[in-house]
Amino acid sequence: MSANITIGQYVAGTSIVHRTDARVKLALVIAYAVALFLSTGWIGICICGALGALGYVAANIPAKLAVRSLKPVLFILLFTVALNAFTFNAGSGDGAPASTGTIALAGTFGISLQGVENGVFFALRIVFLIAATSLLTYTTPLIDIVDAVRSLLRPLTRLKVPVEDVAVVCALTIRFIPSTVEEAERIMKAQRARGLRFDEGSLLTRAKAWVPIITPLFINLFRRADTLACAMDARCYTGAARTHLSIARMRRSDSLAGALGVALLACVAVFL
């Protein structure tokens, strides 16, 4: 696995976060995401960030892993800030001074200080959410995550929801994220060896340069999906509930930690 690929990677450990029941961690991540997107002020977003940092400290996960998990979405973060920062109401365009809170660059085009603040706020939401989900995968084996999804969705079986199939899809998605990134890296290296350049020419030229990357990547993904489907069919996969060698049982401390965590995040979402 490439050193830059951390999404879906499990880091073995014996910390309190590693020992916490996977269902509790999954519920806390969901509550954390809700609190992030319902918080409308800086106090709420800072509390969420502090809670996420506390989780990494408690799990003994190096900060560099959290930073690496943000590399795939770095462009999205920059685009989010830029989209909110730039404005066409910076001035009148006739030499008049820019309006309060804006910096005129060319005519009415400029930078809004309030827009920069909003962009940073929205980008931090994305950063904290990715960090929280990465912490879940760092401290929880894939099979435990799948079992947690299956357990939390089990009540939906009364509504004829294929819970087993949903759990399998979640497992395959997490499992093949690193493989997909590795595949993209191999294709990029092969295309560079053939003389393809991604950092030369106009914006349109650079966008076209990605076509030889995306096309074979999607072809390989569909081929892999077809191979996987044939393998599952050959093994007579029917979506029936599978048995377990050991049954995960939630401890009282896990239940207490989950209840306190959800209550705290609910207060952040409602009041901050």
161 vs 219, which has greater pLDDT?
Answer: 219
DSSP character string of 214-229: HHHHHHHHHHHHHHHH
Asked if residue 105 has pLDDT above 70, the reply is no
- Residue 153 has a CB neighbour count (10 Å cut-off) of 16
User: φ, ψ for residue 99 (rounded to 5)?
Assistant: -70, 165
Return the pLDDT at 269: 79
Q: Are 97 and 59 in contact (CB under 8 A)?
A: no
Helical H segments across the chain, by residue range:
16-19, 22-38, 42-59, 63-68, 74-85, 113-139, 142-153, 163-193, 203-209, 211-234, 252-271
Taking residues 9-31, report their average pLDDT: 86
Return the pLDDT at 190: 85
**Residue whose structure tokens are 């076509």:** 211
190 vs 110, which has greater pLDDT?
Answer: 190
Integer Cα distance of 102 and 178 in angstroms: 42
| Confidence grade of residue 236 (pLDDT, cut at 50, 70, 90) | confident
User: φ, ψ for residue 92 (rounded to 5)?
Assistant: -85, -15
99 vs 225, which has greater pLDDT?
Answer: 225
Taking residues 263-267, report their average pLDDT: 85
Asked if residue 22 has pLDDT above 50, the reply is yes
Which of 67, 74, 73 lies closest to 52 in space, CA to CA?
67
SS3 28: helix
Taking residues 169-177, report their average pLDDT: 77
| Mean pLDDT taken over the chain | 79
**Residue whose structure tokens are 């050991």:** 246
Asked if residue 219 has pLDDT above 60, the reply is yes
In Å, what is the CA distance from 227 to each residue of 17, 101, 169, 235, 238?
36, 57, 15, 12, 17
Measured torsion, CA atoms of residues 264, 265, 270, 272, in degrees rounded to the nearest 10 = 90
Least confident of 97-101, 166-170, 264-268: 97-101
Structure tokens at 253: 């401390």
176 vs 6, which has greater pLDDT?
Answer: 176
**Residue whose structure tokens are 């239940």:** 255
